[in-house]
Structure 1
Amino acid sequence: MNTGATRNVALIFGYVPNQTAAITAAAFYFCFGTALTLHIVRLKNWWAVALPIGALGSGLGFITRYILAEPAYQTSKTTMIIEEVLTLCFPAGFLAFNYIVYGRLVLYCLGARHSLIRPQWVSTFFIMSDVSTFVIQGIGAAFVVQPEHHDLGGKIVEVGVILQTISFGIFSAMLLLTYVSVKRERLTNGTETWWRAYQAVVFSSTFIVIRSIYRMISSIDGSSSVIATTEIYLYLLDVLPLMIAIGVYIPFWPGSYTTGEDSILHISIPEQHKLSSFDAGSRELLASNEA
């Protein structure tokens, strides 16, 4: 198993992973993934499978991290690659889930006028971005654990993390603009069922942003920085925020709130509020009437 000290995990990561922390994180991810899967099966919400896949994949990543701390595996290139890909990339499933929930909210509850992008395109656009950055980070992770390609791998991961952060930043801005648009119409009193799904997505996205900022800073600073080589930061600024981000969906499952109940989708829009909406069709109609 020994392939040379140059690939020792302590030299690549800056520390030997703490096994207690790794197995605890794995246990939480598996528990959350199981609970979220039960929601999907109970309500037949197959559109939501990205969330438990991300959780279970992350759990496997921390199992691999536990194994990586064993002396016999601390120089295993394959184990390091698997650990890096699983823990770095599989949380992309959490982002994908938030994109899907937002798209369903607009499509079934709010109406296209409240989104900058057509609701049918929202999930596709952002998930394609997510997959692209997933692949970039995966390639980078495979290079990072190779001493001869370590710096190149770090740069590739950095590019993937930055692009993912920008993409999620755009999505977060869309969430805010949707809120502004809905409030401007004054067609809701804030007690509608779908508000719970919106609030859950915003809450979840806030913690994903925290994790994204941590990953971006640690990748830009490099593998020799304090934030990258101190394991506690990984758990406080990556694992914990992500667990909170997906944990909110256990008591507040979006599939229960995006059924179209209390929808404002087909409510007539007051003339004075049409220009404040994001529905391109409405804007074009107003323009033609004014002409």
Structure 2
Amino acid sequence: MSSKLRLNSITFFALLLGFFSCQPKSVGATRNVALIFGYVPNQTAAVIAAAFYFSFGAILAFHVLRFKNWWALALPIGTLGSGIGFIMRYILAEPAHQTSKTIMIIEEILTLCSPAGFLAFNYIVYGRLVLVCVGARHSLIRPQWVSTFFILSDVSTFVIQAIGAAFVVQPEHHALGEKVVEVGVILQSISFWLFSASLLLTYISVRREGLSDGTEVWWRAYQSVAFSSAFIVIRSIYRMISSIEGNTSTVATTEIYLYLLDVLPLMIAIGIYIPFWPGNYITGEDSIVSVSNPEEHKLSSIRTGSRELLAVKWR
């Protein structure tokens, strides 16, 4: 993702939050958090989730700074946003703030939409992996377009969900808000499932070609993004079921499901990148981008090995 697109995304995110934070606070039992969510948020759970998100975000931001992988900023930014969202959730549970429309809107936008940064990061990693390491022939979409295509989809569905989240907390627009969120979640889920299918097809294509023996450095990046994506799919299924069934369903009104099927999968999805940072593996080493003939690749490997062996003998 270019620096201009990254800056525009961050600016839009800040303006969106600024706009909603300027909305007047509401009072009255009809806007109580327990009536809108179906429960009062558990403060202990919210603090634990926020602590994990902030801790993970700090480590991931350190990776970005240490390796100067500015293309990876979407991940720590999304993690920070999620952490702030759960701080808002903690505040929302306070009796004095349980009728605050402003806090509800910020909490809903951040907890629902910040993980879009996690999806964007996976899109970027996959795009770089195809472009630098495995080659365009193993991707359904041209590698130059992979990140742009999926990120634009991500941003679009982010905006839809953010608008829906703003309406959900208003009783007079609650039903409309639920529908808007539902559309955003479904579109985002479909987009990510298409991405996951592309990821799987890339694996099949690479293995079928026979140029890779599975020991190349870049496979670690592929394994990490595939592992992460599997848990994001779990979260997307939960969000889709929750949004389709509405706030009267057991899934939507039982808070434990949020932590088991949303927070925990996302923690695992981003946690994998703490020990296995993709920037360490997408270096171009062992690349098969420019290789098109398996026999030629094998002969090249044999010649390289022979030269190394001769060099050792003559030392």
TM-score normalised according to structure 1 size: 0.92
Whichever residue aligns with residue 161 of structure 1, its letter is: V
Q: Which has the larger radius of gyration?
A: 2
Does 2:259 correspond to 1:259? no
2:26, 2:101 within 8 Å by CA — same for their partners in 1?
Answer: no
Does 2:155 correspond to 1:142? no
Distance across 1 between alignment mates of 2:57 and 2:161 = 23
For residue 78 of structure 1, what is the aligned residue in structure 2? 102
Whichever residue aligns with residue 220 of structure 2, its letter is: R
List per-residue Cα deviations over 1:32-82 (Å, max 9, x = no partner). Answer: 000001111110000000000000000000000000000010000000000
**3-state secondary structure, aligned to 2:121:** helix
1:61, 1:87 within 8 Å by CA — same for their partners in 2?
Answer: yes
List runs of 5+ in structure 1 lacking aligned partners: 272-291
State the 1:266 CA deviation.
1.3
For residue 50 of structure 2, what is the aligned residue in structure 1? 26
Whichever residue aligns with residue 11 of structure 1, its letter is: L
For residue 183 of structure 2, what is the aligned residue in structure 1? 159
2:211, 2:294 within 8 Å by CA — same for their partners in 1?
Answer: no
**3-state secondary structure, aligned to 1:188:** coil
Whichever residue aligns with residue 188 of structure 1, its letter is: S
For residue 58 of structure 1, what is the aligned residue in structure 2? 82
Distance across 2 between alignment mates of 1:266 and 1:131 = 33
Whichever residue aligns with residue 53 of structure 1, its letter is: I
Equivalent pairs counted in the alignment come to 271
For residue 287 of structure 1, what is the aligned residue in structure 2? none
> Could you tell me which of 259, 266, 270 is aligned with 1:242?
266
Whichever residue aligns with residue 232 of structure 2, its letter is: I
Which 4+ runs in 1 deviate beyond 2 A?
268-271
1:2, 1:72 within 8 Å by CA — same for their partners in 2?
Answer: no
TM-score normalised according to structure 2 size: 0.85
For residue 268 of structure 1, what is the aligned residue in structure 2? 292
What does residue range 169-188 of structure 1 map to in structure 2 within 5 Å?
Answer: 169-188=193-212
**3-state secondary structure, aligned to 2:289:** coil
Distance across 2 between alignment mates of 1:246 and 1:2 = 36
Aligned alpha-carbon RMSD (Å): 0.9
> Could you tell me which of 99, 104, 111 is aligned with 2:135?
111
User: Which one scores higher on RCO, CA 8 angstroms, separation ≥ 6?
Assistant: 1
Does 2:144 correspond to 1:120? yes
State the 1:267 CA deviation.
1.6
**3-state secondary structure, aligned to 1:135:** helix
2:210, 2:294 within 8 Å by CA — same for their partners in 1?
Answer: no
State the 1:268 CA deviation.
2.9
**3-state secondary structure, aligned to 1:262:** coil
Q: Identity across aligned pairs (percent)? A: 80
1:185, 1:269 within 8 Å by CA — same for their partners in 2?
Answer: no
Whichever residue aligns with residue 82 of structure 1, its letter is: I
